[in-house]
Amino acid sequence: LATVLEQQNQSREAQSTAPLGTLIRRYPYLYEHCLLGDGSTLEQQHTIQRIQAQHQRQFELDLSQYVLYRVRCARASRSSPAELEALQRRTQTIPNPTLLSDPELAASVRHFTGKIEGNQTYRDLAKGFQAQTRCGPTYGHFKRDIHQYLSASIDPAFSKQRFNQQLCGNLQGIFPDLEHQPLNDFLMVRTCGQLLNFLVVENSRKLEHFTFVDLVGNIGATATTGLLLKVVLLCTKVKPYLEKRFAILFDHYERAAQESVLWLVQVLENINVAFSTNFGNANLSLVI
């Protein structure tokens, strides 16, 4: 809790050798899972939830202000160098609120708020898929459709290697005896939860996460986060379950130097952006 309350003012060089665990303050979505246990009192739970809400709101505000500032700078720069200089003189520089570079953050915000497949955003794709499921498909049809829904956002060069087969095999192994039953809320939630086990990590006793590392290494942190966002937008009930998967990985690597797990830091930062723009109040679609 002390780490969460402390402001982190270390330089980037000092941060890179510091343990991953010192970054906990940056990720409000991990607080309840990493800082509370079975023995936590009601007062402790309320305290963490209050701090979590405060930090989440602050990040969304910082992100919105940063993006708006960068958009204004870009417009001024296109107009003339003199206009850009004038803007920078009369306005305070807004710092990047993430550990991503400026180009990485710009790409991340565009990815999670803009059109990613044809004319559709992540939200559009999830709503379209949800509309399909209201037509009463069988569970087997749903599993085939969700395979297509997820694999559409994966680089074909990577998915054809082995990921498609692994995803298909995972889906086939989920309630195979119920494929002729109508899809219901229970099957939707359990299937999406099992997919997150497969895509990230199952639990603290089964810490294998080769698929996750493979995804990040091949398609990048932003696209991997987008794949997970597809699942939680389709079934918002599993959002806390995804947060728990990341808490498990955070606990597993908490003593590792940040520079040795940059792949995980990149995903944690992208999750912050994805959650803030799709579940929070950081509506940046009008300024991107």
Cβ(17)–Cβ(39) below 8 Å: no
* pLDDT value of residue 72: 79
d(CA 10, CA 143): 47
How far is residue 195 from each of residues 30, 89, 99, 199, 229, measured CA to CA in Å?
20, 50, 28, 6, 12
d(CA 286, CA 187): 36
Type of residue numbered 71: V
Q: Please, what sign has the CA dihedral across residues 112, 116, 119, 124?
A: negative
* pLDDT value of residue 81: 76
User: Does the pTM of the predicted model rise above 0.85?
Assistant: yes
* pLDDT value of residue 195: 98
**Coil/strand/helix, residue 125:** helix
Q: Where are the domains of the chain?
A: 2-278
Q: Tens digit of pLDDT per residue, the chain (288 long)?
A: 566 666 555 545 556 789 999 999 999 999 999 999 888 899 999 999 999 999 999 999 999 999 988 887 777 777 777 776 776 777 778 899 999 999 999 999 999 999 999 899 999 999 999 998 888 789 999 999 999 999 988 888 777 778 888 999 999 999 999 999 999 999 999 999 999 999 999 998 999 999 999 999 999 999 999 999 999 999 999 999 999 999 999 999 999 999 999 999 999 999 999 999 999 887 675 555
* Burial per residue of 64-99, b for 16 or more beta-carbon CB atoms within 10 angstroms, e otherwise: bebbebbebbeebeeeeeeebeebeeeeeebebbbb
